[in-house]
Structure 1
């Protein structure tokens, strides 16, 4: 019987069927039988072409896929309860005012990407950008110049599988994409490219983008450009085409895009890019109650060096006057990242809720979930109950 089974297809199907797929696309590196495409729900999902066996590919998939397993990386410095491994942390922005405005959060990742390719520290960096031929979609892109880095500036709150296009060099990706690529390389070649990431609150369905464009009077199929953020901080959701429209960040993300996230994102133990060399997020201003405000202003980022190599790269970028940074206390950052704090605090409860609803969940190790659950028992009980109810409804749908 075993000889007749397609072990790779079975392994991939188990991840997708249990709603544990992040859509990262690392599996497309594991085997050329796997391609990524949009599912009926509007998320990137793998399709496995029929063929025999592939025991080795199945084992590599199991070792790589963040929908199967995820282990927190070893720290080269200290460990923060929310942000994980830390060598050093700063607040800051790109020195170039154009880059700072173009980026979603101070332009730091755009500036670093341009710096890497400009000085030859990476011949190529794989990232994500608007699809030139179909602007409503987000696609992987290859960045080899400052101009290409600027063209890819700005967040893309949409499904994309950046690692599926990786062919060496550096990468800028979501935390799950970076973690998946790192696990894949650990299981195969042992290569160690420079990896950059950003704080991620989850991946919305493509249907969320299409629906928001339609709500604002546009046609998703007739766009000439679409920007989720940037051109200011936090920047507006803006599209142009046969009709044009825009909406502020709080409305576009908080009331539309952020409400249509894939299931795996809701139990994610790492929304801040622990597997990267450098991770960047918004350092929001706050009101008198300590809650983030989203008034337009000059972009400000929190920049975390996860590795000594990442810290050295940041130091070179500061010396070259690419970045302007000052040290920061990460406890101050935790206070202005309430979504990340809440998700980390109740991650165990949410995972338990999915288990009680009959779903498998990935094996998460090293993220301190039990300690956080014991510190927040009632919140985790509520999270387990709510997650179980929602998961049962989705299974019946």
Structure 2
């Protein structure tokens, strides 16, 4: 994989692959129409699951909670449970190493997949990384180094691991656990560059980048980006004060994410998300929702609760769906609409059927706005970067963001006009 001009990872020299690799690729790419979908993979791996939910997939139990012991919670973006479970796998000797995303030493790229064999290395890779990474290097290490492994990843990465294991006996034997992350969408490397611009620096000056610096006095969903520079200075800004800091608007979103229907890592043995529901969203210490599909991992959680090392409350599927409502709308009704924009022969094979359903004109316009913002943010940033004129992109992003927020959230004069039109339309009906 290599970075393109937009800061997205793309396959390199795909036409030069050996013939057997060309045959395998369509079966292991998570977006390939020839690959098994999430329902098919989950049915094979979690056949005895107690619950089968249309939004969350198959699972045995769901929880909301956090880690009580040590600094797992304070060092994580959320409740610290993902790193805690991975650490337990190492501590109990169930795996020899964990594949996860961590910072690089050189800073270019900022992050990449690595293998951690100690708790210290694992904890150094805690926190969310909204940055493009790829799995090929770490999977090659797993193939060449005997042992038992766990892999942490977003839904499409875990699906790719499942598909790779089905086509590679060595990986299938060595990858024992998969730990998934709930996902809204992936970002390009340019988002970090844009944030750096808006913090008064450049990405070349950044030594450490934290997308979600934690402050316990503020609600968990008040994101703050923070960068430590090579000279030791620390700079930061709240996401809401960044021109492109509205996550839902889709700035720098990978185009493939427009056609993904998995939010909850449905093929992972266990999956973790943020508890975006009150009273948890207001707790700046961070809280996880957890979906468990592996009896062995459920046993580890039960023992952790009994020892009061973690605090978990059992919840149902409805609660978990509530915490991820906006992402699920984007991946269900939004996806159904986006599929209608493609000619039939070009539509990817998804579990969501193409259709408008009962969407209002305003909702359809919101999905179109997100789609266009995602596409044009790459192009405008590239042009601005080429000219070395950051303000060109930032001015565009600020205007677009204001329009999107006014249209979506009824803020400012744009929102008032839209509300007036919407009410007029409703009265006419």
1:170 is paired with a residue whose SS is strand
Q: Distance in 1 between matches of 2:366 and 2:23?
A: 31
The Cα shift of 1:299 comes to 1.2
Q: Which residue of 1 aligns with 2:155?
A: 175
For the Cα contact (< 8 Å) 2:277–2:322, is it kept in 1? Answer: no
Q: Which residue of 2 aligns with 1:186?
A: 166
Q: Distance in 2 between matches of 1:182 and 1:349?
A: 26
For the Cα contact (< 8 Å) 1:93–1:100, is it kept in 2? Answer: yes
2:66 is paired with a residue whose SS is strand
1:133 is paired with a residue whose SS is coil
2:185 is paired with a residue whose SS is coil
Q: Which residue of 1 aligns with 2:349?
A: 363
* Alpha-carbon spacing, 1:225–1:348, altered in 2? closer, same or farther (3 Å): closer
The Cα shift of 1:225 comes to 1.2
Equivalent of 1:344, from 331, 346, 359?
331
Structure with the larger helix share: 2
* Alpha-carbon spacing, 1:111–1:345, altered in 2? closer, same or farther (3 Å): same
Cα deviation 1:228-271 (Å, max 9, x = unaligned): 12544455211011453212355568426942101111221002
The Cα shift of 1:313 comes to 3.5
Q: Distance in 2 between matches of 1:373 and 1:201?
A: 22
Q: Distance in 2 between matches of 1:103 and 1:385?
A: 31
For the Cα contact (< 8 Å) 1:200–1:272, is it kept in 2? Answer: yes
Q: Which residue of 2 aligns with 1:5?
A: none
Q: Which residue of 1 aligns with 2:9?
A: 44
Aligned length: 349
1:215-364 to 2 correspondences below 5 Å? 215-232=198-215, 233-234=220-221, 236-241=224-229, 242=231, 243-251=233-241, 254-255=245-246, 258-286=250-278, 295=282, 297-319=284-306, 321-356=308-343, 360-364=346-350
* Alpha-carbon spacing, 1:107–1:286, altered in 2? closer, same or farther (3 Å): same
Q: Structure 1: any 5+ residue segments left out of the alignment?
A: 1-35
Q: Is 1:205 aligned to residue 188 of structure 2?
A: yes
Q: Which residue of 2 aligns with 1:63?
A: 27
The Cα shift of 1:388 comes to 12
* Alpha-carbon spacing, 1:152–1:176, altered in 2? closer, same or farther (3 Å): same
Q: Distance in 2 between matches of 1:93 and 1:277?
A: 19
Q: Distance in 1 between matches of 2:4 and 2:81?
A: 33
1:11-90 to 2 correspondences below 5 Å? 36-48=1-13, 51=16, 54=19, 56-69=20-33, 70-72=37-39, 73-74=42-43, 75=46, 76-90=49-63
Q: Is 1:165 aligned to residue 148 of structure 2?
A: no
The Cα shift of 1:377 comes to 5.5
* Alpha-carbon spacing, 1:361–1:101, altered in 2? closer, same or farther (3 Å): farther
Cα deviation 1:18-46 (Å, max 9, x = unaligned): xxxxxxxxxxxxxxxxxx12111111111
Cα deviation 1:278-332 (Å, max 9, x = unaligned): 0000112448xxxx95x56121110100233432343344345442211012312
Q: Distance in 2 between matches of 1:182 and 1:66?
A: 9
Q: Which residue of 2 aligns with 1:117?
A: 90
So what's the TM-score if we normalise by structure 1?
0.78
Q: Distance in 2 between matches of 1:380 and 1:58?
A: 44
Q: Distance in 2 between matches of 1:48 and 1:220?
A: 28
Q: Distance in 1 between matches of 2:113 and 2:106?
A: 13
Q: Which residue of 2 aligns with 1:382?
A: 364
* Alpha-carbon spacing, 1:348–1:238, altered in 2? closer, same or farther (3 Å): closer
Q: Structure 2: any 5+ residue segments left out of the alignment?
A: 143-148, 380-429
Q: Which residue of 2 aligns with 1:26?
A: none
* Alpha-carbon spacing, 1:109–1:307, altered in 2? closer, same or farther (3 Å): same
* Alpha-carbon spacing, 1:122–1:362, altered in 2? closer, same or farther (3 Å): farther
* Alpha-carbon spacing, 1:43–1:51, altered in 2? closer, same or farther (3 Å): closer
Once the two structures are overlaid, the 10-residue window that deviates more, 114-123 or 333-342, is 333-342
Q: Distance in 2 between matches of 1:180 and 1:38?
A: 19
Cα deviation 1:35-94 (Å, max 9, x = unaligned): x1211111111102664751x322211111012143322142211222111210001111
So what's the TM-score if we normalise by structure 2?
0.72
* Alpha-carbon spacing, 1:127–1:385, altered in 2? closer, same or farther (3 Å): closer
Once the two structures are overlaid, the 10-residue window that deviates more, 65-74 or 267-276, is 65-74
1:160 is paired with a residue whose SS is coil
